[in-house]
Structure 1
Amino acid sequence: MTRIFITGSADGLGRAAAETLLDGGHDVIVHARSENRLAAVKDLADRGASTVAGDLADPEETRDVAEQVGRLGPVDVVIHNAGVYTGAQIMPVNAVAPYLLTALIDGPRRLVYLSSGMHRGGRADVSLLRSGNYSDSKLFVTVLAVAVARIRPGVVSNAVDPGWVPTRMGGPGAPDDLRLGHLTQEWLATSDDPEALTTGGYWHHRQRQSPHPATHDRRFQDDLLAALADLTGAGLT
């Protein structure tokens, strides 16, 4: 049995992944952005999922989420699923929170970061950590996934493009298959398939693809990690 923490699991792809992983007998920790929002995962808690709450747009609440997870005991996998598409919370939720949780949660053997095909339109400029758009944020989290694979050789770290799927964020007219949208995260989290145990990849529907060229630029990786450490006060080793 694998213990898996999934951010942003009150709805959408995160919830779908939590349901499937619970069906598979795994020990799942689900997350909602507030105590009130935990009502949306009561059925998952009734099935045995543990729950944590905190707004990932707020660094202090993100730190508290990491502490809540730590109190539940060691985790094997973190799926950094939470994300927003518009507004001032884009960078804090999509890029800063995954970094901070990676720095603060000890011990996961596997890390999965939700990217997007739109990351290819992102700009490789760390000054955008305070003002960037959705594409920029998804480039940064993709770079983070690959940088973690490099600096933590004992950890399997990958980024996933789930596709444009019919969630609340994607909208009802999204053309991609919802099941395929969360299948790759689950596979990377739990499978012993040799491909699922590779690290530093960018995946779409269980196929490894070529990401934005900046993703594998070590200088940009280091610049991004340094900027995130400066912003959060938490170093990543």
Structure 2
Amino acid sequence: MLRDFGLNEVWFLVLAARWTLALSAVAFVGGGVVGLLLAVARISPWRWLRVAVSGWIQVVQATPMLMLLLLFYFGINMFGVRIDAWTAAAVAFTIGTSAYLADIWRGCIQAVPQGQWEAAKALALNFRLTLALIVIPQAVRMALPPTVGYMVQVVKGTSLAALIGFTELAKAGAQMNTITFEPVRVFGTVSLLYFAMCFPLSMLARRLERKLHVGSLRVQAL
């Protein structure tokens, strides 16, 4: 039975947006932790580790997020391991996010002038202390704007989780459209909610870039 699209339906979409934010937060926090480890490994003194991590990052970046979602949701279940849509989405987005954050942060770390590394070596600091005390504090200044900017992509990308049955904002919008049959109003509201979540992050990224004066800094390529 069809019903009108009103305030109750809008509130339903607002509540669904909480799951979009929750999945985004899990992906960003988990991906951030893993991404930092990958970024450090990517510039480590051990060649075998750099090659292995670089290969892993390239494989993950070359794999569409939808494929990762399907792999962790349907693929693992085929081996008798039961995994729900929330867990599959959290793992897939954590892995995907970590690969991109690792590249962003690796580039920012390598953008720190070589003289800083040489000065740390002259002070007899090892690789770990050089990173912790000298390099990373400077790299954070360059990494903040692109990191915040990438968060926008994470928020928008969570809509793919609807394809494995995870009910976030996009999935809730599709469900609401089937009972109201008012696609313009339903998906217009969904778009406004995505805008409300993403626009502040975009503005924050631009503000950080201007405030920290990182636009002119050159980040070394792979």
TM over 0.5: no
Higher strand share: 1
Which TM-score applies when normalising by structure 1?
Answer: 0.28
Give TM-score scaled by structure 2 length.
0.30
Question: Comparing both structures, which one devotes a greater share of its residues to helix?
Answer: 2
Rg larger in structure: 2
